[in-house]
């Protein structure tokens, strides 16, 4: 196999990659004694978690103690660690899940490989919060999405600079 074919397969695996998520409402914000139902989704590795907030807010509204909270005020944590919302999901998963790195050859195989090969970190269980924003660790996005847009454009400029030595084209 040529390096061009390997590169193409790797790019395809990256663009088509997803992470199964098990998102649960924080117990401190849930009005039921028992936990609320989890929100299960297969989400693209290259996407950002804040894009899920309106859908998650609508799903968890019946369980929220304060259903009037704003959807953009939500934040995610993994094992009580706030997740940086301006990082793509795939990067967050790779940093925090403890799963072993994937091999290039894995791109050929069925995504539903045997349980002995797949880490037990799937689905990745995240906790959703709508209160107690960790302002010392996270920048809070705005309702219009301008902060998220600016963070994305900044990361594109950084990537363009690393690749081309300049970001003037952006």
One pLDDT digit (tens) per residue for the chain, 170 residues: 788 888 888 888 888 999 999 999 999 998 886 678 899 999 999 999 999 999 999 999 999 888 888 888 899 999 999 999 989 999 999 999 876 665 555 545 544 444 444 445 789 999 999 999 898 888 888 888 888 888 888 888 888 888 888 877 77
pTM for the model: 0.77
pLDDT the model gives residue 21 = 96
Task: Specify the pLDDT at position 112.
Answer: 45
Are the C-beta atoms of 30 and 65 separated by less than 8 Å?
A: yes
Residue 118's pLDDT is 44
Phi, psi of 89 (to 5 degrees): -55, -45
Quickly list DSSP for 20-59: EEEEEE-GGGBSSSSPPPPEEEEEETTS-GGGGHHHHHHH
């Amino acid at each position: 196999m040529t390096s061009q074919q390997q590169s193409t397969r790797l790019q395809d695996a990256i663009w088509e990659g997803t992470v199964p998520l098990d998102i649960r409402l924080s117990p401190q914000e849930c009005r039921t004694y028992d936990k609320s139902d989890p929100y299960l989704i297969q989400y693209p590795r290259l996407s950002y978690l804040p894009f899920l907030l309106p859908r998650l807010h609508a799903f968890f509204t019946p369980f929220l103690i304060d259903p009037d909270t704003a959807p953009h005020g939500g934040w995610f944590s993994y094992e009580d660690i706030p997740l940086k919302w301006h990082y793509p999901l795939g990067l967050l998963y790779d940093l925090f899940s403890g799963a072993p790195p994937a091999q290039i050859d894995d791109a050929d195989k069925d995504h539903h490989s045997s349980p002995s090969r797949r880490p037990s970190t799937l689905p990745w269980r995240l906790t959703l919060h709508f209160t107690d924003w960790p302002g010392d660790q996270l920048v809070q996005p705005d309702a219009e999405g301008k902060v998220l847009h600016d963070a994305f454009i900044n990361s594109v400029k950084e990537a363009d600079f690393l690749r081309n030595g300049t970001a003037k084209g952006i």
